[in-house]
């Protein structure tokens, strides 16, 4: 949970940093922006993805996907963004409900038809959060599994069984929350399933009462009137807008042999495209920063050294073998013998080793080599 909280804080900082000119955005606006612009494609190989009734991809582990800050900022443009309608709340319950018994290996199914307060001031036509409040008495509550299926057919696990939860106290007016039905029209019949998953013969209890609370808006938010269109991750990562163009757009991967064979470029201002690119660097500040970044990659325990200011005729003396060593570190993070000492400890997994990441890192290293070559 700490890891998820840390990621959320970083994401929130990233988001807020882009909106100094949009002071009218509300917290609910931000939720809609995140939901409507997050991308699931980078995580598509993970199990559990489903499309809800509003056409949104959602996952119990990854929510609505990977935060796409650029798409979020573009959608939130104050010149085009319309704030979401006022939030409404509709409570659905059965005043005639009689407690239902539940035993080992048993299941209680409750069908909940609703018009979502249609015709009233608090009518819901577009969902945000769904809240299920219940009182359940049970001898071992950790054996219970609760699933809610929306009128549109989206199934959400509100509560999974928990082997170490041996409490006999059950749940008293307990709130279960889900956002998996975000954007759906709630009108229709919802289905609640409460199941004993253990088979322990001594288990017994009952469903005492319940109510379904729908949170959403009486009218459809403006940005949801067009279908959600997802972008392929390969398209996103290859989007070079705002990135300096390079002379060579080929797919060649840098290797030790290639690095050694390529001659150093001339320092002459008339040296063609290389000279043109060098003129764009302000006093070599960018290349110095890149150099320190590369040097830090060789040893995470040794802080980057501040390079003394060089005369125009000074040359960098870094063996090409070091570049090759850096490339090996970039391309084979999960093959290192001691992951504790790896620069990529947080990324040592199968997901990081997919081709898009290697392709990106190869380009990064080649760019570093090109910049350093210009300075020699």
pLDDT per position as a tens digit, 183-195: 999 999 999 999 9
Which of 190, 220, 250 finishes a domain? 220
Within a domain: 235: no
231 assigned to some structural domain: no
In this predicted structure, the answer to whether residue 84 has a pLDDT above a threshold of 80 is yes
Do 258 and 339 belong to one domain?
Answer: yes
Residue 266 lies in a domain: yes
- Enclosing H/E stretch for 55: none
Domain boundary among 83, 102, 124: 83
Domain match, 126 and 108 both: yes
Closest CA to 71 of 34, 97, 105: 34
Lowest mean per-residue pLDDT among 15-19, 45-49, 129-133, 319-323: 15-19
| Together in a domain, 257 and 371 | yes
Residue 88 DSSP SS3: strand
Same domain, 97 and 200: yes
Asked which of 64, 83, 102 is the last residue of a domain, the reply is 83
- 3 state DSSP class of 246: coil
Whether residues 74 and 175 fall in one domain: no
Same domain, yes or no, for 124 and 36?
no
Same domain, residue pair 251 and 366: yes
pLDDT, residue 13, reads 55
Q: How many domains does the chain have?
A: 3
Distances (CA, A) of 278 to 159, 244, 271, 371: 59, 12, 10, 8
Q: Are residues 245 and 351 in the same domain?
A: yes
Cα–Cα distance between 32 and 192 in angstroms, integer? Answer: 26
Residue 341 has what pLDDT? 40
Per mean pLDDT, which of 26-30, 119-123, 276-280, 349-353 is the most reliable?
119-123
Give 14's pLDDT tier (boundaries 50, 70, 90).
low
Token code pair at residue 310: 């060089």
Distance CA 271, CA 261 (A): 19
Query: Is residue 281's pLDDT more than 60?
Result: no
Contact status, residue 157 vs residue 50, Cβ threshold 8 Å: no
Rounded to whole angstroms, the Cα distance separating 275 from 267 reads: 7
Residue 178 forms part of a structural domain: yes
- Residue 319 is part of which domain span? 240-375
Asked whether residue 229 is domain-assigned, the answer is no
Is 206 a domain residue? yes
Query: Is residue 253 one of the residues assigned to a domain?
Result: yes
> Are 167 and 142 contacting, i.e. CB atoms less than 8 angstroms apart?
yes
- Lookup: tokens for 169: 């106290």
How confident is the model at residue 374, as a pLDDT? 63
Whether 145 is in a domain gets the answer yes
Indicate whether 98 and 216 sit together in one domain. yes
Judged by average pLDDT, the poorest of 45-49, 98-102, 224-228, 275-279 is 275-279
Nearest alpha-carbon partner for 210 in 133, 112, 110, 117: 133
Say whether both 273 and 341 belong to one domain.
yes
Q: What is the mean pLDDT of residues 353-364?
A: 51
Looking at the fold, whether 331 and 308 belong to one and the same domain comes out as yes
pLDDT(330) > 70: no
Buried b (16+ CB within 10 A) or exposed e, 30-39: bebbbbbbbb
Same domain for 103 and 209, yes or no, is yes
């Amino acid at each position: 949970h700490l890891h998820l909280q840390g990621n959320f804080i970083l994401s929130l900082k990233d988001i807020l940093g882009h909106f100094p000119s949009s002071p009218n955005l509300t917290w609910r606006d931000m939720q809609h922006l995140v939901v409507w612009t997050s991308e699931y494609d980078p995580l598509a190989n993970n199990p559990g993805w489903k499309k809800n009734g509003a056409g949104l991809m959602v996952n119990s582990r990854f929510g609505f996907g990977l935060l796409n800050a650029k798409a979020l900022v573009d959608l939130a443009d104050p010149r085009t963004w319309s704030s979401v309608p006022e939030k409404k709340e509709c409570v659905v319950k059965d005043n005639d409900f009689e407690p239902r018994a539940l035993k080992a290996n048993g299941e209680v199914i409750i069908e909940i038809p609703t018009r979502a307060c249609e015709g009233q001031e608090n009518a819901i036509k577009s969902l945000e959060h769904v809240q299920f409040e219940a009182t359940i008495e049970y001898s071992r509550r950790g054996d219970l599994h609760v699933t809610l299926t929306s009128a549109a057919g989206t199934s959400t696990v509100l509560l999974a069984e928990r082997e170490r939860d041996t409490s006999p106290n059950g749940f008293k007016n307990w709130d279960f929350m889900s956002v998996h039905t975000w954007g759906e029209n709630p009108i229709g019949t919802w289905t609640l399933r409460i199941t004993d998953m253990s088979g322990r013969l001594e288990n017994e209890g009952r469903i005492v009462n319940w109510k379904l609370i729908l949170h959403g808006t009486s009218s459809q938010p403006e940005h949801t009137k067009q279908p959600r269109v997802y972008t392929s991750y390969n398209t996103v990562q290859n989007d070079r807008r705002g990135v300096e163009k390079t002379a060579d757009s080929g797919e060649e991967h840098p290797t030790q042999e290639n690095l050694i064979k390529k001659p150093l470029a001339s320092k002459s201002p008339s040296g063609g495209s290389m000279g043109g690119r060098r003129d764009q660097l302000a006093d070599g500040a960018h290349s110095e920063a890149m150099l320190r970044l590369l040097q830090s990659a060789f040893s995470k325990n040794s802080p980057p050294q501040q390079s003394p200011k060089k005369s125009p005729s000074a040359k960098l003396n870094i063996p090409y073998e070091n570049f090759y060593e850096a490339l090996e570190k970039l391309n084979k993070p999960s093959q290192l013998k001691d992951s504790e000492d790896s620069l990529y400890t947080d990324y040592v997994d199968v997901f990081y080793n997919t081709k898009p990441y290697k392709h990106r890192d190869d380009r990064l290293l080649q760019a570093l080599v090109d910049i350093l070559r210009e300075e020699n």
